[in-house]
Amino acid sequence: MTEVQLTPAQHARVRKALASVPYAKLLGIKIDQIAVGSATLSLKVRKELKQNRGVVHGGAIASLIDSATAFAIISMLQPDESATTVDMTISYLRPVARGRMTASAKVVRAGRRIIAVSAEAYDDQQTIVATSLSTYIKL
């Protein structure tokens, strides 16, 4: 299946959305790829994102995944629409201690109000480190 590319207006909305989230800046989240209904974001692993055992904190992984799912959804919303996370279930599969983490998200189903999104997080060796299923609601 081929990805539908964003329009210039959609690209502008995505750039504005990322710039308006101070938490994403704090984590160092970058957009790697985005198309209608899908997004891949990444962040560099650094000591501020680690827990006391030297691996990336689960909250940082969850934040990267939540951001990827949000951007997959933003690409599908009308200009006057917004959405927020209702729930997110994450399975942590492997620890990450260094390098770069990437999260890829894809909209599974977009209903009139509810949107389901799946995501996977990877280390820089492309080993899957976490999976997620999230539900969003249009506001």
Domain range for residue 99?
8-138
- The verdict on residue 121 lying in a domain is yes
Structure tokens at 131: 């999976």
Q: Tokens 């539900």: give the residue.
A: 135
Instruction: Work out how many domains the chain is built from and give that number.
Output: 1
- The verdict on residue 97 lying in a domain is yes
Q: What is the pLDDT of residue 55?
A: 95
Q: Point out the least confidently predicted range of 23-27, 111-115, 120-124, 127-131.
A: 23-27
Res. 116: pLDDT tops 70: yes
Residue environment code for 93-107, b if the CB has 16+ CB neighbours within 10 A, otherwise e: eeebeeeebbbbbbb
- The verdict on residue 134 lying in a domain is yes
Give the predicted TM-score (pTM) of the model.
0.91
- The verdict on residue 2 lying in a domain is no
Instruction: Output the domain CATH number for residue 13.
Output: 3.10.129.10
